[in-house]
Chain A
Amino acid sequence: MFDDLRDLYQEVILDHGRRPRHAHRPEQVDATAKGDNPMCGDRVQVFVRYAPDGSIAETGFDARGCAISIASADLMAETVQGRTPDDARALFAAFREMARTGVCPECGGEKFDEALERLQPLSGVHEYPSRVKCATLPWHALVAALAGEKESTSE
């Protein structure tokens, strides 16, 4: 009945939505920010711990939301680990393009290939304009945390 929905709800999304690996607060939190989507009531708080060299050592989150937003937060935590804040921001720009359009032809080169492949299952949201924000909400909160802000503003 929902065969055509497998584009949106790929197994990896259902799996991470159901059993997120990073849905917790790290013992040490160096930066945190909240994001919420007032239209639908989704809320997320992202926690970041930095490594001594300033890169992202660990990301965790606390979220209330749909399968898409939880899975996106979880895959985000996976893909930004070990990256510098600048790289995390660049990865978000690439991911956002993919979420909006389904593709990202010039997405920062090899550095992000593996990460974008990991995030690719979320690209199905581009066919559901009202759901794009679900996928980008945790990233907005991450970017706000990296900037030292408490709250994100999603577009």
Chain B
Amino acid sequence: MNVTTPILAPGRLDVARVREDFPILGETVRGKPLVFLDSAASAQKPRVVIDAMRETMETQYANVHRGLHWMSERTTDAYEGTRDAMAALINAPDRHEIVFVRNSTEAINLVAHSFGRGILKPGLAVLISGMEHHSNIIPWMMLREAYGTELRVAPITDAGELDMAGFEALLADGKVGLVAITHMSNVLGTYTPAERIVQIAHAHGAKVLFDGSQAVVHRRVDVQALDCDFYAITGHKLYGPTGIGVLWARRELLERMPPFMGGGEMISSVSYERATWAEVPHKFEAGTPAIIEAIGLKAAIGYVQSIGYEAIAAHEASLTEHAMARLSAIEGVHILGRAQDRGGVVSFVLDRAHAHDVATLLDRQGIAVRAGHHCAEPLMRRFGVESTARASFGVYTTREEIDALGDTLERVREFFA
């Protein structure tokens, strides 16, 4: 439990030093030090992100891609710099493949609308999994209603892993045009076997979209190594601001896809008779974008890279192992999902106590967890529960915080015994 020791080895995360980067971690809640175990819902922001956004507004703010003046040029450079930073982060071969969106929900809706209606044919199917967030379910249901595509759901095992035989069987008839699946479950913490998914899907003629909302926070994502076709990212879970996310897609797909929303920025020329579209990615970026937020996201990317994914992954693996052991040792606690390959998200139920009551009692001790269905109602039903409590970890999470959760849960259990 010597987490406050300075750096012990290269690639090791010094959590005490990391915590100093997050101003909010000095706050108290109900008179107790904040124990923030809800990073999977939205992560806290390091000072570099806060400063980058404030400095932009204080020193160089103007609209982008428009004004022929100094402020606009500076802001455009900074804003476009995020495209380069994100391309480097996920090893995208071409910066034009980075499309700015509000969040991963919008990224998936963009694909459902533009790829779904532009390239998928009615009668073809979209294949999702049984552990998706509503944001990777509803857009495909809406496409089904509007356009006549089929929606298939690949089963998951009791351990909370993708049932690969069931997955492959659903591709067998060759009717699946797109596999849309999470790269890491926001409820179970499960990493899906992304490379294998892509190999199998491509062999059956299907494109692959990964919902990377959680995964890119915790491990290095290389879209070329994955060989996928679409990758959805949200900024606010990656220690960046809300309102900015990214869709990565292969350029040849983006070229073929019709625009998502119409407006300024996305056009090349306009008359009342016809309009032509701007080049990729601007074709998909109608309207004034989230400029300040994009600049904040670049600072967040830089922050994550300064720590390094190896250190982040090692830190979170150690925390997750500790949390699984600590919570499993509490009588009456049941953890959902026991995937072999998992990240720092642990959902659990406690006998005789509802998740909301658990969360309220934890909150009284300054411990923030999420309670509810986690926007994954079908997954909750798969495991026969209405709701769970969920603890999730970030770069600033300590073993002591997990111990505080465990100790408090024991009191909660006694309270409801």
* A67 pairs with B386, CB closer than 8 A: no
* A131 pairs with B360, CB closer than 8 A: yes
B352 contacts across to A, CB distance below 8 A: 18
Chain B residues proximal to chain A, CB less than 8 Å: 352-357, 360-361, 364-365, 371-373, 377, 380, 386-387, 408, 411-412, 415-416
A2 contacts across to B, CB distance below 8 A: 361, 364, 411-412, 415
**Alpha-carbon separation in the docked complex, A14 to B416 (Å):** 7
Chain B facing A: main interface SS: helix
Give the residue of A8, A18, A41 whose beta carbon is less than 8 angstroms from that of B372.
A41
**Alpha-carbon separation in the docked complex, A41 to B187 (Å):** 15
A68 contacts across to B, CB distance below 8 A: 356-357
**Alpha-carbon separation in the docked complex, A66 to B389 (Å):** 12
Give the residue of A18, A41, A131 whose beta carbon is less than 8 angstroms from that of B380.
A41
B355 contacts across to A, CB distance below 8 A: 66
**A contact residues, range:** 20 to 34
A118 contacts across to B, CB distance below 8 A: none
Chain A residues proximal to chain B, CB less than 8 Å: 1-2, 4-5, 8-9, 14, 18, 39-43, 64-68, 128, 131, 134
Known: A5-B360, A39-B372. 9 other contacts (CB 8 A): A4-B364, A5-B364, A14-B416, A18-B352, A41-B380, A65-B356, A65-B386, A66-B355, A68-B357
A131 contacts across to B, CB distance below 8 A: 356, 360
A39 contacts across to B, CB distance below 8 A: 372
Q: Which of B353, B380, B415 has the most CB of A within 10 A?
A: B415
B411 contacts across to A, CB distance below 8 A: 1-2
Q: Which of B387, B411, B412 has the most CB of A within 10 A?
A: B387
Give the residue of B357, B360, B365 whose beta carbon is less than 8 angstroms from that of A1.
B365
B371 contacts across to A, CB distance below 8 A: 40
**Alpha-carbon separation in the docked complex, A8 to B364 (Å):** 11
A89 to chain B, nearest CB (A): 27
A43 contacts across to B, CB distance below 8 A: 386
B406 to chain A, nearest CB (A): 13
25 contacts between A and B (CB under 8 A): A1-B365, A1-B408, A1-B411, A2-B361, A2-B364, A2-B412, A2-B415, A4-B364, A5-B360, A5-B361, A8-B360, A14-B415, A18-B416, A39-B372, A40-B371, A40-B372, A40-B373, A40-B387, A41-B372, A41-B377, A41-B387, A42-B356, A66-B356, A128-B360, A134-B356
B387 contacts across to A, CB distance below 8 A: 40-41
B309 to chain A, nearest CB (A): 34
**Alpha-carbon separation in the docked complex, A141 to B10 (Å):** 60
Q: Which of B353, B355, B360, B371 has the most CB of A within 10 A?
A: B360
B377 contacts across to A, CB distance below 8 A: 41
B416 contacts across to A, CB distance below 8 A: 14, 18, 67
B408 contacts across to A, CB distance below 8 A: 1
A3 to chain B, nearest CB (A): 10
**Alpha-carbon separation in the docked complex, A8 to B411 (Å):** 16
Leading 8 A-B pairs by shortest Cβ distance = A66-B354, A66-B356, A41-B373, A1-B411, A41-B387, A66-B357, A67-B357, A41-B386
- Closest A residue to B30 by beta carbon equals A4
A155 to chain B, nearest CB (A): 18
**Alpha-carbon separation in the docked complex, A134 to B382 (Å):** 24
A19 to chain B, nearest CB (A): 11
